[in-house]
Amino acid sequence: MRLERDVKLTFDDVLIRPKRSTLISRSDVNLEREFGFRHSKQKWKGIPIVAANMDTTGLFSIAKILQRYKMITCMQKFYSTKDFEQAWEDVDPNFAAVTCGTTENSFDLLERKMATNENIKMICIDVANGYREVFLEYVKRVRNNFPEKILIAGNVATREMTEALILAGADIVKVGIGPGSVCTTRKVAGVGYPQLSAIAECADGAHGLNGHVMADGGCSSPGDVAKAFAAGADFVMIGGMLSGHDECAGDLIFEDDNPTPVGMKFYGMASETAMEKHGNLIKNEYRGSEGKTVTVPYRGAVKPTVVDILSGVRSACTYVGASNLKQLSKCTT
Ligand code: 5GP
C-alpha cells in the first residue's frame, strides 16, 4: 500500500476567511454564470446549482421551482419518455438535464427522451463508480451521438480520471465519491475522497483542459455550497438539502393525529429502498446496498430553502469581496 501524506480536506475542515471588500450588500452579488463548453460549444447561462438526479429530488416538480432561479434539475433516470413528453409544457429544457445510466437499454431510452424536445441542452451520465474503462467508452459513444449537447459525466474524485473523462467527451465531470448524505460507500467499501480536496484537485485538472466540474454530494448547508464554489466547482449538485419538501417524492411521516407531517423519507439511489422500488433488489453475494434510507424533517415548500441557499452563497461572496460567483474561488482564502 502507498500512503498519501498531504492533507485532504472536507467541508467541515475549513472556513472561508473574511476580507475587506468594497461591496455594500448581498444584492451587489451576481450568482449567474455563463459557460462555454469544451466539446458541445454550447453556451449556458444561469445559477449553477443543480438538483440531484435522485428519485426524491430529480423531479419535474422541483424543476418548475428551480428554473425560476435559472437553476438546473438533473432528472431522475426512471422517468419514461411519456413523462418527458408531458412535462415540457411547464418545464424549461434549458434547465432540465436528461439522466441516463450505462446499460444498452439506457442508451435507447436516452435517445427517445432526447427526441421529446430538441431544445434539451444537457445530458447527465450517472454511475456510482466512474473509474471503469467501459464508462469512458460509454461517454465517447454518447458524445459521438450527441455532439451538440452539454455532457455531464461521473462520478469520480481524482484529477486523472477527471481529465480522462473530459478527453473522452465530457463537458462537465461530476465529482464526489462517498460524500453524499445518504451514501454508505465509505462504510461499506472503505472507498472515498475528502470532498473539498476532490473538488479543488479535479477543478484544477478540468480547467486546464477547458473542462468543468460539478461538485456532487456532502453539502449540508448553504455554507457548504459556498465552500464548494470557493474550492473551484463550476456547478454544485445537492440532494439532501432539497429533501423533505412538498415538491419532493417520498413518503410523509405523521405523528398521532397531527395532520401536518413531521418528516419525509429520503433514500440513496443505491439503498435497498431504491432497489426495491425499481425492481432490482438482487440479494446475491455480489451486490449489496451502498445507500441508506433516512427520515428528514418535513420543511414545506422548497422555495424558501432555495432562497436561503442563494442568500448564503451571496453572503460568502460579500465577505470575501467577490462581486460575482466566478470570482468567489479566486477571492477565497
Ligand atoms: P447530498 O447532497 O445528499 O449530500 O448528496 C447527493 C449525492 O449523493 C447524489 O447526487 C449522488 O451522487 C449521491 N448518492 C445518492 N444516492 C446514493 C447512494 O445510495 N449511494 C451512494 N454511494 N451515493 C449516493
Question: What DSSP string runs through 14-43?
Answer: --PPP------SGGG-B--EEEE-TTT--E
Q: Which atom of ligand 1 is nearest to the CA of 218?
A: 4
Q: What confidence tens digit (pLDDT) does each residue in 78-91 have?
A: 999 999 999 999 99
Question: What DSSP string runs through 284-303?
Answer: SSS----B-EEEEE----SH
How many helices and strands in the chain, by DSSP H and E?
11, 13
**Residues classed as catalytic:** 183
Give the pLDDT confidence score for residue 122 in this predicted structure. 98
Query: Sign of the CA dihedral 39, 45, 48, 50?
Result: negative
d(CA 151, CA 121): 9
Phi, psi of 64 (to 5 degrees): -60, -30
- 8 Å CB contact between 236 and 49: yes
- Nearest residue CA, atom 22 of ligand 1? 183
Give the amino acid at 256.
Answer: D
**Helix ranges (DSSP H) in the chain:** 60-66, 81-87, 104-114, 133-145, 159-168, 185-188, 195-208, 222-230, 272-277, 303-320, 325-331
Question: Pocket residues for ligand 1 (CB within 6 Å)?
Answer: 52, 54, 128, 155, 176, 180-183, 185, 216-219, 237-241, 268-271, 290-291
**pTM of the full structure:** 0.97
* Residue 24 Cα to ligand 1 middle (Å): 37
C-alpha cell at 241: 438539502
296 closest CA partner among 246, 240, 255, 256:
240
d(CA 167, CA 151): 12
Give the pLDDT confidence score for residue 167 in this predicted structure. 98
Give the pLDDT confidence score for residue 285 in this predicted structure. 62
Q: Which residues of the chain have pLDDT under 50?
A: none
CB neighbour list of residue 294: distance below 8 Å, 6 or more residues apart: 181, 182, 265, 266, 267
C-alpha cell at 35: 459557460
* Residue 291 Cα to ligand 1 middle (Å): 8
